[in-house]
Amino acid sequence: MKLWLTALLAALASPAAAQQHQPGQAPYAGMQTRAIKALSDQQIADLKAGRGMGLALPAELNGYPGPAHVLELADRLGLTAGQKARIQDLFDSMKAEAVPLGAKLLDQEAALDRQFATHAITPETLKSETAQIGMIQAELRNTHLKYHLQTAQILTPDQMQLYSALRGYGSMGPMHNDHQHHMQ
C-alpha cells in the first residue's frame, strides 16, 4: 500500500514545479502560498473537472483507451453513431463519478493542510487523515481505470490499433479477444 501511495503521489507531482527548481534555490520555494500546499493550481483544476491526471496510465499505455481521448478522435477512428453514443455515455458517467471524488479529495487535502497550518496535527489524526486521502485516491483511480476497460470493449481491434497509432504509442497490434467483447 505504501509503495502504491508513493507512486500515486509521484504521479500527481507537478512537472512544472520540478522545472522551476534552480540550483541554489529551495525546491519548494513559492509553494507555501498555495491554497492547498500539496497540490498545484493545475492539479486542483483537474480534480474539480474530473480529469484523469495520468491516473489511468496503466490502462492507456497497455491498449485500453479512455473515453475522453476516443471521443476526441471519434472521426479519425471511424466510430459508428452507436459507438460514439455509448462512449459518450461512459464519459458522462466517468465525470459524474470523478468530479465528486475530486471534490472530496480536495476537501481532505485542505483539512490535512489546515491541521498542519494550525499545528493541531497529532500522530493519530495524521494517520486517519492520510488513510482517508489514500482511500479517496484509490477510488478516483479505480474510476478512471474502469472506464478505460469499458471503452476498450466497445472498439474493434482495428480501431484499437489505430487509436494507439494516433496517440503516438506505435502499433500495439490488435487486442486479444479474450479480454474484449466487441459490442457493436
**CB-based burial of residue 168 (10 Å sphere; 0-12 exposed, 13-18 middle, 19+ buried)?**
exposed
Name 109's Cβ contacts closer than 8 Å, sequence gap at least 6.
36, 38, 39, 133
With cell 477510488, the residue in question is 139
Pure H helices in the chain:
2-12, 15-20, 41-49, 57-60, 67-72, 74-77, 81-117, 123-152, 157-166
DSSP single-letter state for residue 33: G
Closest among 145, 136, 54, 53 to 101, alpha carbons compared: 136
Hey, where are the domains in the chain?
36-167
> Is the Cα dihedral 83, 182, 78, 70 positive or negative?
positive
Q: Give the span between the Cα atoms of 106 and 129, in whole angstroms.
A: 12
Q: Residue 156 and residue 141: Cα distance in Å, rounded?
A: 25
Supply the pTM of this predicted model: 0.78
pLDDT in tens, the chain (184 residues): 454 444 444 555 544 444 555 666 788 998 888 899 999 999 999 999 999 999 999 999 999 999 999 999 999 999 999 999 999 999 999 999 999 999 999 999 999 999 999 999 999 999 999 999 999 999 999 999 999 999 999 999 999 999 999 999 976 544 444 444 444 3
Nearest-10 crossing angle of helices 81-117, 41-49:
130
Residue indicated by cell numbers 463519478: 97
Helix (H, G, I), strand (E, B) or coil at 134: helix
Using alpha carbons only, how large is the chain's radius of gyration in Å? 19
